[in-house]
Structure 1
């Protein structure tokens, strides 16, 4: 899969992607793509290399083990820690071997939470790409995430006491990571969010005005949203509908969202006379596909779909949210996991989108949200964020960050 190359004058960068969701692959892929071949020797480790992402890439590729997306989603759904001790131990052993083989100048990881251990053991700088809402200094959102504790207490009670039950949830999820850190002689962290954000350098893939932290540490930097669109053109019919003024909505529940809400979303928007572009992120969906108002695609150029749409409906994950906001379009987010709730809470607080709980979703709630999404105030807030995203261009900021290492 890879051949030997000798470029002693180049900075050698090793990327690790955690292929449990599409976003945790495409984000490091986009960062790798922005490094100029004359200055960097790029190596990329991932459990799978799908052609629709990697086909034209020229960096060296290495297969590694990751848990399956299905197992990841299952753990999320039941509120179980995402990784167990044996899995994390396997990650560390494999990462250390690969780092020793490649001898990189720097390692870059996206949601590969074992890398803080592996890079310490290998004495190589680690750049951790994450979102600022995971910082221990970021305030917790008022909306409780999907978790079995929330289901036991009920949404209303959990919302009132979320800040008090969070330490319990965080401690439970941090236990496997701290156990593995202890095995390899690394000190445990005080908070689950430290596992998510610690690195020799931490790059927050967000606009700072959306998720402002009280203060940045000396090793932290906002690199801006890292954007990616599938190289899949929109059908001419959808582009022509936009050209003649028909109202469009781009709907994508992503690779980590549930498609259980799709039939309800589609009905609510159809009843408002919208035409829909629905991306399934490669997953099979049982909803009817015989509707002339709905165009189904496994993958789509999401940036173009968002640009042509009045607003975007998604699972609230940062990849789809920032894709919409970069095009100046407000977002209806229907999150199911903690990360998605955190992202949408900040977007809603800013005024550029609306968070609807998947537990209480119904046609009336969706249609009421639509009228607010189309308001001039929310449209203006989304446009404002699009300018902020353009001002924090990861393609410029990320290479500058690497030069400082």
Structure 2
């Protein structure tokens, strides 16, 4: 007797494109293996994802502007009320569709709602958020760094970080208690990564880790590219100079883009850049070619070097193609990825708060002059989808 395919619902917290993109990439991989897939996500990025191979159902997420403002101020991202509302929304979907398995990307409420309906739940995250990560924590761009300077702010951050991580866990634990569940350890990292299965979207040797429990699993980078048309200038780009791809993404410091492009326009380079609909450029330059969006995989392949915000999806896209990458991070997620990248000797960082024409010009010239192929593309940056199907099939 033939059994019906397992049904997996993905919940994407679409505060940034990356969380949605990873869900779509994994969902596509499972569809090819004949699993039944549904995506629950806000529609704000639908114009970029194109036609999907599976149904999408509406799911409310806080606005990207609200999320970015909380990040910029170093404040907890969600209140207990928002998380409780999320749980209620999750529950309606889970009770209606009754999936066999849940996969979420930064939908923190699923750690509560999945337990209430007793459905196995896996979260997609990065290993540098793990409580088992053996790393330091660079201070992101916060009011404190502007007030005290980076060096002093970092010392203060090191002292108060455990308290900050505790404060950022309070809303979630309050929501747990409301639904009659035990609170987690008072640590933001526990809240960000708690699930029946914690899936790290990184190469296994990229982030130094302490010994892991068996339900914490490295699946490799989850790569994805926007469904964006290629601009008219794509096929006629000059090929006699190094090509730099500049993308600050949906969560980078978009205010820096005009300065970066003006700086690069003065160098013997060809520059391709995306605005992500976040920046209006008042000036144009003969060697700078701009689009609202580009397919990341094709842009990275064409480039000799990439300048990005340090987010893990773009960083891993660059490493998979063995391209030099200069990161200009602003939030903690980007700083964590960038610090891991620098420690691995695979890229360089300029803090968003310190970025200026001089240090950008120096970094670009140095990285282009010293670029050496590492040759670790391929399997190291491949998705181990079999590790996920093994979990699903065990249900």
Which bin holds the TM-score, normalised by the shorter protein? over 0.9
Asked whether the equivalents of residues 31 and 398 of structure 1 are also in contact (C-alpha less than 8 Å), the reply is no
- The farther-off stretch of 333-342 and 149-158 is 149-158
Q: Gaps spanning 5+ residues in structure 2: where?
A: none
Distance across 2 between alignment mates of 1:229 and 1:52 = 13
Asked whether the equivalents of residues 50 and 227 of structure 2 are also in contact (C-alpha less than 8 Å), the reply is no
Per the alignment, residue 123 of structure 1 pairs with 118
Alignment of 1:273-284 (within 5 A): 273-283=268-278
Per the alignment, residue 26 of structure 2 pairs with 31
Distance across 2 between alignment mates of 1:195 and 1:366 = 36
Counterpart of 2:173 (choices 175, 178, 191) is: 178
Per the alignment, residue 289 of structure 2 pairs with 295
Q: State the shift of 1:159 in Å.
A: 2.2
Asked whether the equivalents of residues 140 and 330 of structure 2 are also in contact (C-alpha less than 8 Å), the reply is yes
Per the alignment, residue 346 of structure 1 pairs with 340
Distance across 2 between alignment mates of 1:118 and 1:137 = 24
Asked whether the equivalents of residues 140 and 163 of structure 1 are also in contact (C-alpha less than 8 Å), the reply is no
Count residues with an aligned counterpart. 393
Counterpart of 2:15 (choices 10, 16, 20) is: 20
Aligned-pair RMSD on alpha carbons? 2.1
Distance across 1 between alignment mates of 2:130 and 2:72 = 23
Asked whether the equivalents of residues 324 and 330 of structure 1 are also in contact (C-alpha less than 8 Å), the reply is yes
Q: State the shift of 1:216 in Å.
A: 2.4
Instruction: Indicate how the Cα distance of structure 1 residues 249 and 58 shifts in structure 2: closer, same or farther if over 3 A, else same.
Output: same
Residues 46-89 of structure 1, C-alpha deviation per residue, up to 9 Å, x if partnerless?
A: 11164444433231221011101111111111122111111111
Per the alignment, residue 373 of structure 2 pairs with 380
TM-score scaled to structure 2, two decimals? 0.93
TM-score scaled to structure 1, two decimals? 0.91
Instruction: Indicate how the Cα distance of structure 1 residues 274 and 220 shifts in structure 2: closer, same or farther if over 3 A, else same.
Output: same
Asked whether the equivalents of residues 128 and 198 of structure 1 are also in contact (C-alpha less than 8 Å), the reply is yes
Alignment of 1:2-401 (within 5 A): 9-36=4-31, 39-48=34-43, 50-141=45-136, 143-190=138-185, 191-235=187-231, 237-241=233-237, 244-283=239-278, 285-376=279-370, 379-381=372-374, 383-384=375-376, 386-387=377-378, 389-390=380-381, 392-401=382-391
Instruction: Indicate how the Cα distance of structure 1 residues 380 and 209 shifts in structure 2: closer, same or farther if over 3 A, else same.
Output: farther
Q: Gaps spanning 5+ residues in structure 1: where?
A: 1-6
Residues 93-120 of structure 1, C-alpha deviation per residue, up to 9 Å, x if partnerless?
A: 1101211111111110000011100101
Residues 230-276 of structure 1, C-alpha deviation per residue, up to 9 Å, x if partnerless?
A: 2334446444435x332111111101112111122112222222111
Question: For 1:380, what is the secondary structure of its paired residue?
Answer: coil
